[in-house]
Amino acid sequence: MAKKFPAQNFLNRELGLLEFNRRVLAQAEDVTVPLLERLKYLCIVSSNLDEFFEIRVAGLKEQAKLGGLAAGPDGLEATQILKRLFAPTHQLIARQYELFNDELVPALAKEGIKFIRRTHWNDAQKAWVKDFFLREVMPVLTPIGLDPAHPFPRVLNKSLNFAVELQGKDAFGRNSAKAIVQAPRVLPRAILLPPELSGCPFGFVFLSSILHAHVGELFTGMEVLGCYQFRVTRNSDLFVDEEEVKNLRISLQGELPQRHFGDAVRLEVADNCTPAMSDFLLQQFDLKAEDLFSVKGPVNLVRLMRIPDQVARDDLKFPPFVPGMPTLLQKKGADMFKVLRKSDVLLHHPYQSFKPVIDFIQQAASDPSVVAIKQTVYRTGVDSELMEALIAAARGGKEVTVVVELLARFDEEANINWASRLEEVGAHVVYGVVGHKTHAKMLMVVRREENNKLRRYVHLGTGNYHPRTARLYTDFGLFTSNEEVCADANEVFMQLTGLGKASKLKHLWQSPFTLHANVLEAIRREIKLAKDGKRAHIIAKMNSLLEPEIITALYEASQAGVKIDLIVRGVCALRPGVAGLSENITVTSIIGRFLEHTRIFYFRNDLAHDLYLSSADWMDRNFFRRIEVCFPVLDEKLKKRVLDEGLKSYLKDNIQAWEMDCNGFWHRKTPAARSTQLCAQTALLHELGQPLAVDDAE
């Protein structure tokens, strides 16, 4: 039985998430990052924090209500975690707005990109804004006066709202002192003024400023004493009892609208909001003082994410690039099946193009020799060439089977729509396994070839079948026609669509059956080698490391003398560098232009150099509550590529790398004197991608 380590050897997940967002915010603080990209990073932090409150904080509040639930590996109970989150969360958000107001806004203004405050509008600007309000805004507003006949309205999750203090009587003689105005989501939060009016190339006014200036138009004959913008964040975790429902899709369709009206978990107000109004709003949403965030500026920074797209200043953005193409696929119209019969093909996104994956499905859809296509879908987006190709294949009479994960958080609606369209054209659509999200990234094509034999071709990946995120996230994808690997993939598809016991797979490690045990076995093999006096080394790259038994095994490996290098983008519950426990473990995080999404597991294994790619992080949910696959890279050249590109280059990074200390705090690496500076992402862009001239950026 594995040794159990005390709770103090595990770091807290939620505090780790806040640390991750501090690292993202550091990108917005970094003056070497292009200015409009710094604004994007600021918005990304807000988006991350929204989900943090909607899911993590909401979950903790639910646990606290129930009471008596067991603490996690770190020994902290929900109420204790919530108390510890209070100060760092408020500090992080305060720093966000300080950065926005004191650094980014002035820097953008110097570049002719201004946010024009209503106190600074000239007469011409006031006239334009009033016309815009009367023409575009007022017709879609519904002010709600609060009185016994009009109780406090249901406020949508994360929507922009205004609490208005009034004086006087309305047309019916009512003397209501308060009203709520909800800003429709169809309206942009920052409106671009004509350059001749703004006096600069890109002048924006906030929707909140426009509403503030003209809120009196909504309450004729009454005096507006105050107008305060606010925003509420709600519990957005869907509750669907999969064991009880007969049709998961129908149940989800009924549950999705309720996501907008879950229990409130956070209230954001502008800093001009009076204490009395703040207390009133807290009372309406059944929140406490610690749930209130008073901010100096727009209460929803996420909506400023669109501004860089409205500003034609490429010099203030990351340089454009063209993803590269593997040599084997560079020939226009390359026959994917012919190529894969000769060798495996590895794609490293976003440095290399996602187009071969689209080409593969499109060729399969139109190839008369292809008889069947099977694919898993977790996230694919609202518009997807891949899904359209599957629909075309089904229309063409091919056997198309799609395993659609309906519970992919925040993508449920898009996946329901794709499922409906696929069913309409005769595709087989299944929703995976009750109680286990299908998170594996698998695509299989069955083709009738020489001698009338069927041959399988497979694509396995670490990331989603999503062309847009393939340009933003780092991931590996492997094409192969290796018969044993394809047979394993077919077996997983059979499990997902049919019934029966799991068969033993030759190459793939699979959750919830063998992945956890195989990772533990690989770690223990390195322990044995180290104890035998041989060199032992583990390198693992992932998004999150939380599963306690794996962490315990890594501690044991460190104590045995195994060198362990972990590259963890987000949360890591393991404490590195603790004497007698983990002094042989380092934990690195890379935060840069692209979101690190690759999962790679390397075990030296006495020079066998076992290397696996996976859809799974080392978390409880991935090991035990999801369908995941972990697949080996068998081709020695491709294995070396993954080792060099996906692991070694990141461990050498001294520009975008952060190192974690034993207390869970992160410190940015800096190049030593006279050492070579290396940014892994930039180096890989130059090595695998193709820089794009500005003239070609269109």
> Can you give 218-269 as a three-state secondary structure string?
HCCCCEEEEEEEEEEEECCCCCCCCCCCCCHHHHHHHHHHHHHHCCEEEEEE
Answer yes or no: same fold for 321-501 and 510-696.
yes
Do the Cβ atoms of 573 and 546 come closer than 8 Å? yes
The whole model's pTM is what? Answer: 0.91
Q: Is a pLDDT exceeding 90 seen at residue 32? A: yes
Is residue 222 very low, low, confident or very high in pLDDT (cuts 50, 70, 90)? confident
Cα separation of the two ends of the chain: 61
Please determine, for residue 248, whether its predicted confidence score (pLDDT) is greater than 50. Answer: no
Tens digits of residue pLDDT in 104-156: 999 999 999 999 999 999 999 999 999 999 999 999 998 888 876 667 888 88
Residue 470's Cβ-count burial label (10 Å; 0-12, 13-18, 19+) is buried
Please name the residue that has the structure tokens 């019969």.
341
Q: Which of 92-101, 452-461, 492-501 is predicted least confidently? A: 492-501
Confidence of residue 429 (pLDDT cuts 50, 70, 90): confident
Domain ranges of the chain: 35-47+94-316, 321-501, 510-696
Query: Of 68-77, 314-323, 354-363, which range is least confident?
Result: 68-77
- Kindly state the percentage of the chain with pLDDT values over 90: 71
In whole angstroms, give the CA distance from residue 646 to residue 598: 8
CATH class of the 510-696 domain in this structure: alpha beta
Q: Which residues pair with 599 in a beta bridge?
A: 614
Q: Is the pLDDT of residue 686 over 90?
A: yes
Name the catalytic one among 348, 349, 436, 439.
439
Q: What is the CATH architecture of 35-47+94-316?
A: 2-Layer Sandwich (3.30)
Percent of the chain clearing pLDDT 70 (strictly above)? 90
Q: Bigger pLDDT: 384 or 15?
A: 15
Residue 464 burial (CB count, 10 A): 23
Q: Is the Cβ–Cβ distance between 622 and 516 less than 8 Å?
A: no
Residue 439 bears catalytic tag: yes
How far are the Cα atoms of 149, 199, 327, 455, 685 from residue 334, in angstroms, in the given order?
Answer: 69, 53, 11, 19, 24
Q: What is the mean pLDDT of residues 245-263?
A: 48
pLDDT at 442: 95
- pLDDT for 69 equals 63
Q: What is the pLDDT of residues 181-219, one digit of tens each?
A: 999 888 889 999 999 999 999 999 999 999 999 999 998
Pick the CATH number of 321-501 from 3.30.870.10, 3.30.70.1350, 3.40.50.1370, 3.30.70.380: 3.30.870.10
Instruction: Express each pLDDT in 622-648 by its tens digit.
Output: 999 999 999 999 999 999 999 999 999
- Of residues 225 and 176, more confidently modeled: 225
Cα–Cα distance for residue pair 495/507, rounded to 1 Å: 16
pLDDT at 221: 80
pLDDT at residue 622, rounded to an integer: 95
Chain centroid, CA 669 distance in Å: 24
d(CA 549, CA 434): 25
Phi, psi for residue 470 in degrees, rounded to 5: -65, -15
Q: Which residues lie closer than 8 Å to 311 by C-beta, 6 or more apart? A: 36, 113, 202
Please indicate whether residue 658 or residue 671 has the higher confidence score (pLDDT).
658
